[in-house]
């Protein structure tokens, strides 16, 4: 099977789906994405950076993992990871999440740009904060910043190592 990725709509970064062939949907990622896409149980997981923010609460250089609907590309949730404070010596600028998420049952496992292993709920916050980790607002804000309000489009972190 062949496909045609399509052409940009005039003066935008949006793809005109009428110019594609064998493409169901297109999702704009950040400016860099190095990990492989993982597809499991009708969901697509991909790591990138935050150069195209999906949520106005999260601005600037961050690592991001999107969880998208396999059939429509709809965003179910996103994990937003602040950069390490030491700069590019330990967390290169605009690199984002390079880990390919692994899925087992209702858990997502990945390595963040902060060198942490995270276990996430595949449902994000849509089914509540499952824990035992319950401080997603502080995690997203980063060390030394006031905790953010947690929204339904945020990832639900089960544990961090």
Beta strands in the chain (DSSP E): 7-8, 15-16, 38-40, 43-49, 62-69, 75-82, 102-104, 107-111, 117-121, 157-160
Residues 11 and 26: beta-carbon distance below 8 Å = no
Give the integer Cα–Cα distance in Å for 93 and 87: 7
Res. 123: pLDDT tops 70 = yes
Q: What is the pLDDT of residues 97-106, one digit of tens each?
A: 999 999 999 9
Question: What values do phi and psi take at 3, rounded to 5?
Answer: -145, 160
Q: Which three-class secondary structure state does DSSP give residue 120?
A: strand
Write down the mean pLDDT value for the chain. 93
- The DSSP string of 55-95 is STT--SSEEEEEEEETTT--EEEEEEEEPPTTGGGTS-TT-
pTM value surpassing 0.75: yes
Set out the domains of the chain in order of their start, with CATH numbers.
Answer: 7-160 (2.40.10.480)
């Amino acid at each position: 099977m062949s496909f045609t990725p399509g052409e940009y709509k005039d003066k935008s970064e949006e793809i005109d789906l009428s110019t594609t062939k064998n493409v169901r949907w297109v999702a704009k990622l950040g400016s860099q994405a190095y990990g492989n896409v993982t597809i499991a149980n009708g969901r697509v997981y991909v790591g990138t950076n935050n150069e195209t923010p999906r949520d106005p609460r999260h601005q600037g250089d961050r690592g991001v993992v999107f969880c998208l609907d396999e059939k429509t590309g709809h965003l179910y949730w996103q994990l937003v990871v602040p950069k390490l404070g030491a700069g590019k010596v330990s967390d290169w600028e605009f690199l984002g999440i390079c880990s390919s998420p692994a899925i087992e049952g209702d858990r997502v496992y990945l390595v963040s740009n902060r060198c942490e292993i995270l276990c996430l709920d595949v449902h994000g916050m849509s089914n509540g904060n499952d824990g035992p980790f319950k401080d997603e607002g502080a995690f997203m804000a980063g060390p030394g910043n006031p905790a953010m309000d947690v929204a339904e489009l945020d990832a639900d972190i089960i544990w961090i190592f």
